[in-house]
Structure 1
Amino acid sequence: MHILIATDEQWVVNEVVAALDSPSTTFEIVSNGRHVSRAVAAQTPDIAILDMQVGSMGGMAITMDLRLDQSDGRLPKVPVLMLLDRIADIHMARRSGADGWTIKPLDSLRLRKAVNEIASGGCYAEGLPEIEIAEDEVSHDADAVDVTAEESATTPA
């Protein structure tokens, strides 16, 4: 597996490499966000891991740039895992077109899980609330409205 890591923080590189290193894995480190598209064109990675902040061009802008180049046919589709600084960044990760994200601090188990899921064509999302709706709370008739007799008398037709 070939992994592109875009970050200007050495500790991020260290954590990602420590979590994902294997005899069959190669890494390319890009410390300037503006050089990611060029690196992808030179050797397409199996996954790009983008830090939220990478110098003057962060993970969101990098992902949007990659998606634009991909839609124009200039680059192949590259799965993107974004490393977020905080839960509030989830909205930006979703809007940018990232295939998944994990929230710092990083840990090996979550990184491996995210990379495996995304590299196999899936998505990985942390920080989204679990929404459970009981079956009896869901109306299956969109036009049905409960109105009391009193409300019916005062509701204009």
Structure 2
Amino acid sequence: MPDVLIATDADSVYEDLWAVLGGPGTTVRWVRNGADVRPALAAQPADLAIVDMQVGAMGGVAVALDVRLEQDAGRLDPCAVLLVLDRRADVFLARRSGVAGWLIKPLDPIRIRRAVAAILAGGTWEDDSYIPDPVAAPFEGQAS
């Protein structure tokens, strides 16, 4: 039975995630402040922490780094982190934070399920939605 901790101060993000994850066989907990993630994980370990990039008082990247450093020091049980990004440009930060994966808003049930399933199975998830299509540009002096 997976235990998922959601960290967001946006009701709509929580509702989107809970609608997909909530139900029999899954425990879903919610904190509204990034600084509350580490104490929540210390009090009751989780299999997955889903953290909104813009969660109040301590952003998603700071939460991810805090959790990872505490795990590396042996003060927290292992817990994968999935970041919920506001825009495609935040992927750079997500990669640098060492998270198990990320989703880009707006969220949809299919991507949420796939990301959570991949991470809970021990893998990673990189949301490739909203990647711009490459455009071939001719070199100067060449016909297109």
How many residue pairs get aligned? The number is 130
Give deviations 1:86-120, integer Å, cap 9, x for gaps: 11000101111110001000001100100000011
SS at match of 2:103: strand
Q: Larger C-alpha radius of gyration, 1 or 2?
A: 1
The Cα shift of 1:127 comes to: 3.1
Distance in 2 (alpha carbons) for counterparts of 1:71 and 1:96? 14
Report how far residue 21 of structure 1 moved.
1.7
Runs of 4+ in 1 over 4 A off after TM superposition: none
Amino acid at match of 2:76: L
- The answer for the alignment partner of 1:121 in structure 2 is 122
> Any stretches of 5+ residues in structure 1 without a counterpart?
131-157
**Identity among equivalent pairs (%):** 49
Q: Residues 101-152 of structure 1, C-alpha deviation per residue, up to 9 Å, x if partnerless? A: 010000011001000000111000013899xxxxxxxxxxxxxxxxxxxxxx
Counterpart in the other structure of 1:14: 15
* 1:72 aligned partner, one-letter code: A
After TM superposition, the score normalised by the length of structure 2 is 0.86
Secondary structure class of the residue paired with 2:36: helix
Q: RMSD of the TM alignment (CA)?
A: 1.5
Question: Shift in Å at residue 35 of structure 1?
Answer: 0.9
Output the CA distance in 1 between the equivalents of 2:68 and 2:3: 19
Alpha-carbon separation, structure 1, partners of 2:36 and 2:23: 25
Structure 2: distance between partners of 1:10 and 1:129: 24
Q: How high is the TM-score relative to the length of structure 1? A: 0.80
C-alpha contact 1:90 1:127 (8 A) present in aligned 2: no
- Cα distance in 1 between the residues matched to 2:36 and 2:75: 15
Hey, what's the Cα distance between the residues in 1 that align with 2:4 and 2:29?
A: 6
